[in-house]
Amino acid sequence: MEALDRALNLSKSEGYCRSFVDLGPEMQVLLKLLIRIQPTPYLAAILGAFPESKGSTAASERLKGTVNSLWENEAFNVRELGVLRLLGLSNTHKQIARELQLSPNTVRWHMQNLYTKLKVNSRTETLNRARELKLV
């Protein structure tokens, strides 16, 4: 989601739309999830450009079900996604703190939030669950 957010920020100034629409229903599902977290006119315009589909593909439904079950009530914030990304690169709490310019205690706080949202109890379980959900 962090990469998608970055792509949207880069494309916004030029008003790119087709690049997202051409990626199909899977991208539409991700954009619908993102607009629930941070609604913007640009995001609404991109979603409006998707063709109305009479039925979704099986892959789209699987992705939607997996991500919705996680995001239904518990959306990740940008910092948590950043911590998760760096955790996936095998960084320590201190390295993550230095990279994100946070205190190690703040990183630990974000990790506790990730444990809760991913319904896990350890760093290893966090990474395994994030990989299952294609977050890292």
Quick one: 127 and 84 in the same domain?
yes
Quick one: 42 and 90 in the same domain?
no
Q: How confident is the model at residue 14 (pLDDT cuts 50, 70, 90)?
A: confident
Give pLDDT tens digits for 58-98.
545 555 555 555 444 456 777 888 898 899 888 999 999 99
Contact 60, 26 (CB under 8 A): yes
Quick one: 50 and 88 in the same domain?
no
Task: Give dist(CA 120, CA 69) in Å, integer.
Answer: 15
Is position 122 within any domain?
Answer: yes
Q: Is the pLDDT of residue 11 over 90?
A: no
Domain extent for 20: 2-59
Mean pLDDT of 124-131: 89
Task: Give dist(CA 119, CA 114) in Å, integer.
Answer: 8
Task: Give dist(CA 28, CA 7) in Å, integer.
Answer: 14
Is position 91 within any domain?
Answer: yes
How many other C-beta atoms are found inside a 10 Å radius of the C-beta of residue 117? 18
Task: Give dist(CA 82, CA 100) in Å, integer.
Answer: 8
Distances from the Cα of 43 to the Cα of 1, 31, 80, 121, angstroms: 14, 7, 22, 35
Backbone φ, ψ for residue 118 (5° rounding):
-90, -5
Is position 73 within any domain?
Answer: no
The amino acid at residue 75 is A
pLDDT of residue 54: 44
Quick one: 42 and 82 in the same domain?
no
Mean pLDDT of 19-23: 88
Q: What CATH number does the domain containing 114 carry?
A: 1.10.10.10
Quick one: 53 and 7 in the same domain?
yes
Q: How confident is the model at residue 34 (pLDDT cuts 50, 70, 90)?
A: confident
Give pTM, 2 decimals.
0.48
Q: Is the pLDDT of residue 41 over 50?
A: yes
Is position 69 within any domain?
Answer: no
Quick one: 54 and 86 in the same domain?
no
Is position 117 within any domain?
Answer: yes
Domains of the chain: total: 2
